[in-house]
Structure 1
């Protein structure tokens, strides 16, 4: 004879609770009542005894899953630009908490890189870019010697990638305050070649400062200036899309650049 397994009946208390509520938090809150029950009160679970006064009520609160959908690159970039406000590209240093925040957003973008093999898609990399953040800093005596505390201020940083020539032209603009206000620029030309699907090796070729007045200002400390901006080494392109590029070099620096239409190089 076949054996029949009989499932015990589900208690009415559980049977009447919708399934979605069985996994929710039950929050018990104290309430007061001035009502005196003169007769037995009916309940879906049975009869309440005479004189019953409710002391506690049960409030069911839905429990969220705690899962948050990943932010899109556009959302992350918006947060990144907000974090970069007011820090002058980080060139004179940023508080450690701010630096940590920026690097966290950078890592989020890098994890969603739409161009995982950038050196195989150099058309994404070519053209003019403007620096919006770098961990390269000019601090202490270097800043004083270069006059960046007093009468010289930094303008924009541009980089033009010439794919066909294998060249990168970097331009740092300066504004000089004095009896005669003038603008100048340091131009550094470097060559690059692919070393992996995401990395390029970079070699310094030449540099010039114009106009001559600016060269006279920097001449004594020109080695300091080149020591800061010399691109020799390698660069890992960790993120690139149509509007933003992020790289990390062999010295541990991070660079964030945005696509520029000005092409002022």
Structure 2
């Protein structure tokens, strides 16, 4: 029997402020009190949204070891593991990658929404990427100027369930005589393929402003090849504030719900 302990637990909204993770100490016996200080590309803090904490009932004696860790604890552990890795976009040590993927699998096994395409209201809205196994390494990173000249900002995804549309926005800053800010926008449509999977079709892409397009024009095919979402996506976990997916290329994506009004 599952006992619901806490419902609609609220913390600070997702804005650029600092949160002491010690406030969540009540959910685990021992916790690192260091602050979660970055979400990756844009060096903005990670935040937690409302979620339900569940306690697993004890099994009869002799049943075996019973895992007594809550869903909330696993999310905290995952956010801690994601500290200071720039969302994994420029590569991470193999041990760290294994740690993150283990936590992802544990969350997926506790997915509170086992048939997400039948509950698209939980997927609808704006999300910000906090981790991906997609990486930009070696010559691709050099050609795109992502070592010194170009810095990679936040990655947002907005899902419009009414129109079956997904819009991905990747922020960039280019250094020069003046700082140039811009973004790559990729629009796609999706259709439900199963209770957990959607098929995604690329529609169009744009880079604004024109000066940023001039920077990327020579290697635009490389840029689009990295961020083009076409294919299928399996939604393996979704709740009020976190979504996890796996695509047909073997990539993992972890996103947190974001306030659309702050995405500007």
What range is the shorter-chain TM-score in? 0.7 to 0.9
**1:193-232 pair list within 5 angstroms:** 193-232=191-230
Q: Deviations over 1:117-171 (max 9, x none)?
A: 0000000000000000000000000000000001100100000000011000000
Q: Deviations over 1:187-207 (max 9, x none)?
A: 000000000000000000000
Once the two structures are TM-superposed, the CA of residue 68 in structure 1 deviates from its matched residue by 4.6
Mapped pair 1:140 → 2:149:
no
User: Could you tell me how far apart the structure 1 residues matched to 2:183 and 2:200 are?
Assistant: 21
Q: Identify the residue that residue 116 of structure 1 maps to in structure 2.
A: 114
Unmatched tracts of structure 1, length 5 or more: 1-64
TM-score, normalised with respect to structure 2: 0.74
User: Could you tell me how far apart the structure 1 residues matched to 2:260 and 2:83 are?
Assistant: 21
TM-score, normalised with respect to structure 1: 0.74
User: Could you tell me how far apart the structure 2 residues matched to 1:252 and 1:244 are?
Assistant: 20
Once the two structures are TM-superposed, the CA of residue 242 in structure 1 deviates from its matched residue by 0.1
* SS of match in other structure, 1:86: coil
Matching residue within 147, 150, 154 for 2:148 = 150
The structure with the largest alpha-carbon Rg is 1
**1:75-86 pair list within 5 angstroms:** 75-86=73-84
User: Could you tell me how far apart the structure 1 residues matched to 2:242 and 2:177 are?
Assistant: 39
User: Could you tell me how far apart the structure 1 residues matched to 2:67 and 2:206 are?
Assistant: 49
User: Could you tell me how far apart the structure 2 residues matched to 1:74 and 1:106 are?
Assistant: 13
- Of 179-188 and 68-77, more deviation after overlay is shown by 68-77
**1:25-44 pair list within 5 angstroms:** none
* SS of match in other structure, 1:217: helix
Give the alignment's Cα RMSD to 1 decimal.
1.5
Matching residue within 165, 190, 193 for 1:192 = 190
Q: Identify the residue that residue 37 of structure 1 maps to in structure 2.
A: none
User: Could you tell me how far apart the structure 1 residues matched to 2:165 and 2:115 are?
Assistant: 19
Q: Identify the residue that residue 7 of structure 2 maps to in structure 1.
A: none
Q: Deviations over 1:67-105 (max 9, x none)?
A: 353311110000000000000000001110000000000
Give the direction of change, closer, same or farther, for the CA distance of 1:212–1:80 in structure 2 (3 Å limit). same
Q: Identify the residue that residue 243 of structure 1 maps to in structure 2.
A: 241
User: Could you tell me how far apart the structure 1 residues matched to 2:253 and 2:213 are?
Assistant: 26
